[in-house]
Chain A
């Protein structure tokens, strides 16, 4: 069971969280203006990262906020968690998702 740093509540057990997919996939402002390929990409295409993955979690059984996290998929270590709407933090070693 992971220990996840909620940006509002602090470190909390994974039991309180729900995973919510890849982060920073913005819904197009005007979906009707998207090409079929753009819409397909938005709907279905996701990274399958070995390494640092930007992903969403929701502290559903806590403050109920969605937030973003950078997690290394090879070690399960979280490098950062940050509130929705905040820019992706710069990691100390310069690693990128």
Chain B
């Protein structure tokens, strides 16, 4: 046990004790604690096992940069979140947390044997070892590796929580509410600009929360934060978001924010979303992301109890926790002295400050020595000891190129600091250019790619006064850029602080030629040895080394490791850091739940469910539905005891023998109006429309300019300058878009306009020999007689007293009508037709029956018989082309030689030798039996059904040179053997088409 709660201090509520468990053991903390601070206060040092070597690991940081202390937090079986940073998990009453990647227990983990075997587990171990046999990868290696090297396990139950999404727009978005961010938000919002300020922590203030003795403009830091936030809150133009991480910077100043709403509550209200995705479009972005302290790289630097100096200071000042009782500080920067001095002042023994800089001198060292602390300079760390936590550190002093004066120092916490790395993640994600700053030994934002500015320590500004003033200045400038002017502000600050400058890289060791096993990337267990091996094997590009060793590729995105890895690679290669270059910063900044990306898109709201005006009737009739795009369409109407086959057979027979009723409302409809409407349609469709008489309709085929079928439908001339065009259900939107494209960009001179009327009309198809008898009593102002209303006739009149467009058309081969009525009347008219048809045995039918009926007639369905490579002639529709037209879309391509090759795939019918066998749609066709793979495939089945009226199976297929093969026997190889089929014409029923004209 090493950490403990000190008597007073910190921002936790000591009056509110919180009970929680970790790995089944009960603990107590305070409101305001994180899981990490509470466990440290309870003396817990081991938080988890490492990713690859299963080494015990403690908590290393105090914020989102934590690489080690990943835990699983469980509310119940479904609410179980793995890989959370204990440093960000806020304590609530009853919290249940588990460590990860250990078995059977944290203190004794059998796979820690990996650590002893580490010489056998070098970088790229997996690539090198598990090469053979190939088949073993999925069955043996992968499962074992996944179990052994891993993170926490996700829940297997569906996520019961709700997730929210919002768009937001503002003049200035400030990311990070430390001193720079708060100052920026204060000035920017004073100008009247709309400002959003977000911070990943539960409290605003950032590093200022760690400064109890600082004063700003005469107020304590805590009061300044409180007053500033109160001021911001009082302004109507400000939005404040805590627990909100800016995880990604997207083009054109769109920032993704992840707000955690209920994660910190013991009993989240069920209506509250758990998290929210904000997509913020900001005119200007201020990045005030601060900086992250850098570890030092030395042997044994991953032992529990080794911790960033700044983290120790955060635990002390924010949580009232001393991370040890006898500490050693190893530092390459002045700033870290504050941690040792503050702990010393809090009564913790500081055994030694080992400054790795030979020339270290000045205020921090003087103050430390005055306090009676032993300080050595030019020091290095040669190793640490302690099974489950650091108990001793070996310090050496460098002199004349050698390490001497080695000494062992007892300690229960080892604080480290290599200086600070500015957080340039978001800036880099915005594609801004970074530049290496020699003095700071850091990459700093240079040229912006988006309208943004960095402020404060994330751009290398050092010192609270300078950071606050920088924030105020950037806030004012950003507001001004959005047309809001305001004066900037100068802050007066009193604080004990030292320079944050430091040095990246690896501490020198006794034998430089043999790189030590010092950890660079804690989360992915990458050591200096791994990096050295990669370079020995020839990797020199930092992007390659990153991928080969996986350094910086863990969920922490290398926040603590990247600069050290880079510095080590640079020194090994004998290059400067900027010459080696930086790897890409990836989003998300910290891991984001999938839930926020799904947002509202789940369950019934996953996608709009589009239904027709007659949908509820079909539901009541027990229809089985199928999804056609977003539409629900009735597939068949089973009666009690019927399966699909029986229902479809009955529905087919009813249409052929009597009359059927079909909801065709989903068909796309476009009203094409204007003096040039006929010209336009003639240029677009393969058919001619100039000669189409008013009151007549025509089957139209639409190609793309490549000559292949794009859509089809019926085009009716309602008036001289008005056409009612139908499209396929799925093609409605794209055909409309294609028409607009030609009208707007190719033929803008045509006086012709389009309006989508898909949803204006409910479409009721009445099909079968009795169709006329059913409709006759219901219609007025219409003569249904064949002479007045022949096949493909169109008229307007009334049905049941409401306006109607009546089409005589048939997709079944029977006498048929399509009744179009304004959609709100659809259900009432449908019910009236259904009632009127009772005496004729009218039968509602669905899409499956429609498919069978049209296949019996050889009518194609675009997208089923066609696949974007089928010409009208291939589909047997060459007759539809108006040959005399000088041009139509696709005509030039149809003139290409290959479009007439005799061996093109052509649509034919297929009859199986055994009439009971229904082929499988998509099955391949071969010419001769008994072939071995690879077979010579000459076509495929596009449609196959059982035909009730024919009492046998039928199929349509695209076959090479198919029409010349009519009468031939071909074969369909299937797992159960080859099926012999005879090639036929495409029309199976009523070849003469007499029934159509009844």
Contacts and interface: CB of A to CB of B under 8 A. Distances in A.
A34 B892 contact: yes
B921 interface: no
Nearest to B704: A43
Interface stretch (A25-33, A46-54, A88-96): A25-33
Interface in A48-75: 56, 58, 60, 64-66, 75
A84 interface: yes
B281 A13 contact: yes
A39 interface: yes
Interface string A9-45: 0000100001010000011101110101001001100
Contact of A32 (B250, B744, B745, B886): B886
Contacts of A85: 745, 748
Interface string B689-721: 000000000000000011000000000000000
Contact of B251 (A1, A20, A30): A1
A66 B252 contact: no
Nearest to A56: B745
Contact of B740 (A34, A39, A66, A75): A66
A30 B887 contact: yes
Contact of B252 (A1, A18, A42): A1
Nearest to B746: A27
A31 B886 CA distance: 9
Contacts of B891: 31-32
A43 B895 contact: no
A39 B893 contact: yes
Nearest to B252: A3
A3 B283 CA distance: 11
B810 interface: no
A64 B753 CA distance: 13
A30 B888 CA distance: 10
Contacts of A43: 705-706, 893
A28 B745 CA distance: 13
Interface in B293-315: none
Contacts of A65: 744
B38 interface: no
A20 B254 CA distance: 23
B431 interface: yes
A3 B281 contact: yes
A32 B748 contact: no
B745 A75 contact: no
B170 interface: no
Contacts of B252: 1-3, 76
Contacts of B893: 39, 43
A64 B756 CA distance: 12
A54 B266 CA distance: 55
A84 B279 CA distance: 31
Contacts of B887: 30-32
A75 B896 contact: no
Given A31-B892, A60-B737, A75 B449 contact: yes
Contact of B737 (A13, A30, A42, A58): A58
B626 interface: no
Given A20-B741, A34-B892, A1 B748 contact: no
B251 A84 contact: no
A14 B746 CA distance: 25
Contacts of B741: 20, 58, 66
A66 B281 contact: no
B744 A84 contact: yes
A60 B741 CA distance: 11
Nearest to B895: A32
Contacts of A31: 705, 887, 891-892
The 8 closest A-B pairs by CB, nearest first: A31-B892, A3-B252, A76-B251, A66-B744, A84-B745, A27-B746, A1-B254, A2-B252
Interface of A: 1-3, 13, 18, 20, 26-28, 30-32, 34, 36, 39, 42-43, 56, 58, 60, 64-66, 75-76, 84-85
Given A28-B892, A84-B744, 8 more contacts: A1-B252, A2-B252, A3-B253, A27-B746, A30-B886, A60-B737, A66-B745, A75-B449
